[in-house]
Amino acid sequence: MGRRKKPKVYTDVRFTGIADKGRAVGRDAEGKVIFADGVAPGDVADVLVKRKKKGVLMGTAQEIKSYSPDRVEPVCEHFWLCGGCKWQHLSYEVQAREKEKVVRDTLSRIGKVEVEEFLPIRAAEQTTFYRNKLEFSFSNKRWLTREEIESGITNKADVLGFHRSGAFDKVIDIEKCWLQPDPSNDLRNGIKAIALEQGLTFHDAREHEGFMRQVMFRITTQGEILVLFSFHKEEPKKYQPFMDAVMERFPQITTVCYCINTKVNDFLYDLDMHTYAGKGYVEEKLGDVRFKVGPKSFFQTNTYQAKVLYDTVVEFASLKGTENVYDLYTGIGSIALYVAQACKQVVGIEEIPEAIADAEVNARLNDIENAVFYAGDVKDILTADFAERHGKPDLLITDPPRAGMHAKVVDMLLELAAPRMVYVSCNPATQARDLQLLSEKYRVVKARPVDMFPHTHHIENVALLELR
């Protein structure tokens, strides 16, 4: 068995850009590429390297020798501990510039994709309080800083906040989060106070006990609020007085839902949802399209930038009103319904049946009659027979998950040979791979990144392809 290499300190590493998972990328004096946490582009630092992955050294900053001129003071008191927002210590202008560079480099240098026109990034106007959905975890163990551990303080405390990456059984107690608009912080702090007042136990992930597990808020731009609670056991004598007290303290909540999670994991989407008060969903609006969003709905978490993203899709699509459009990986049909008024027909395909049920509800809500939806894996549903039944697409929109498109789907797209394609991606690396495969028949006319998640490494990119 090979021995693990002893950690080594690399001195005077000069950082020049951002990399995956919120790390910065730099080189030492000998030109070795190093990825590190706790630094920003423009910093020079000594880095303790603990591992090597695919020829790249991974480490943590030991000492920062000189600070980047692009650094700013993070707005959040939890920034250095929480890890949810990776780039609050970097000015937003630089974040946007770096994200644009990541997309350019990934497509052209790594993917060898030729983009005829690369349009500037659509940066977010709102860089704080931009999320419509947030989930928090209850825990009876608080995450401690190194100083706290060394002081001998106990981590036993009832807390409500975020899991730190890699710590499934400890939670950072959050006082004020800058991700979701009011009354998100008041709700979280008030709910925690009510649970403590009523003597309810907070979850212990190691022992797998404790009544209060999770809470999720959906706060829409239409002024509606959905609160979803996850309880460990079916105990109405505990949860009814608790939810009643929450509604009394926060009359602005429009619907309260709950689920019972007796499983070891925190995944909620395979559980039955119960409506305790209100209509069981909230309404959100993108452009002129209204959406019913329930506790399980897959909906873009940044409403403001989702509109910017979809407007970019519409702009690239240049629909005349006569087209037959396919929307692959349609989710709750949000893009399909957004373009429906501008085309003859839109056909959406999505693997998750509940999402398709939502899409059909939302089509009726908006009196959209030219959209049809199918539940199933795109690679199984999109066949030559399917295209014969629904007519060949004049435009194909695809918005796959992070893993990109299955090879069978790419082959089918090459066979269908739609004159134009708009590819929306949340992962430039897999998009570059797919565009390279599609280059057999398609050229990439233009691309534009859209920043949906300020202060994180995530970036969306929209590409327009035309048949050669």
pLDDT digits (tens, 9 = 90+) for 65-103: 999 999 999 999 999 899 889 999 999 999 999 999 999
Flag whether pLDDT at 418 surpasses 90.
yes
Q: How confident is residue 292, by pLDDT bands cut at 50, 70 and 90?
A: very high
Strands 33-37 and 56-66: parallel
Is-contact 41 18, C-beta < 8 A? yes
Q: Could you report the per-residue pLDDT of 306-341, keeping only the tens digit for each?
A: 999 999 999 999 999 999 999 999 999 999 999 999
pLDDT in the model for residue 200: 98
**Separation of alpha carbons 110 and 50, rounded Å:** 26
pLDDT in the model for residue 129: 98
Flag whether pLDDT at 117 surpasses 50.
yes
Residue 436 exposed, middle or buried by CB count within 10 Å (0-12, 13-18, 19+): middle
pLDDT in the model for residue 461: 98
pLDDT in the model for residue 4: 59
**Separation of alpha carbons 122 and 448, rounded Å:** 7
Written as one letter, the residue type at 276 is Y
pLDDT in the model for residue 405: 96
Q: Could you report the per-residue pLDDT of 432-454, keeping only the tens digit for each?
A: 999 999 999 999 999 999 999 99
Q: Could you report the per-residue pLDDT of 205-248, keeping only the tens digit for each?
A: 999 999 999 999 999 999 999 999 999 999 999 999 999 999 99
Which residues are catalytic, by number? 426
Q: Could you report the per-residue pLDDT of 128-175, keeping only the tens digit for each?
A: 999 999 999 999 999 988 888 899 999 999 999 999 887 888 999 999
Render the burial of 248-262: b for 16+ CB within 10 Å, e for the rest.
eebeebbbbbbbbbe
- Give the 3-state secondary structure of the chain: CCCCCCCEEEEEEEEEEECHHHCEEEECCCCCEEEEECCCCCCEEEEEEEEEECCEEEEEEEEEEECCCCECCCCCCCHHHHCCCCCCCECHHHHHHHHHHHHHHHHHHHCCCCEEEECCCECCCCCCCCCCEEEEEEEEEECCCHHHHHHCCCCEEEEEEEECCCCCCCEEECCCCCCCCCCHHHHHHHHHHHHHHCCCCECECCCCECCEEEEEEEECCCCCEEEEEEECCCCHHHHHHHHHHHHHHCCCCCEEEEEECCCCCCCCCCCCCEEEECCCCEEEEECCEEEEECCCCCCCCCHHHHHHHHHHHHHHHCCCCCCEEEEECCCCCHHHHHHHCCCCEEEEEECCHHHHHHHHHHHHHCCCCCEEEEECCHHHHCCHHHHHHHCCCCEEEECCCCCCCCHHHHHHHHHHCCCEEEEEECCHHHHHHHHHHHCCCEEEEEEEEECCCCCCCCCEEEEEEEEC
Mean pLDDT of 38-55: 90
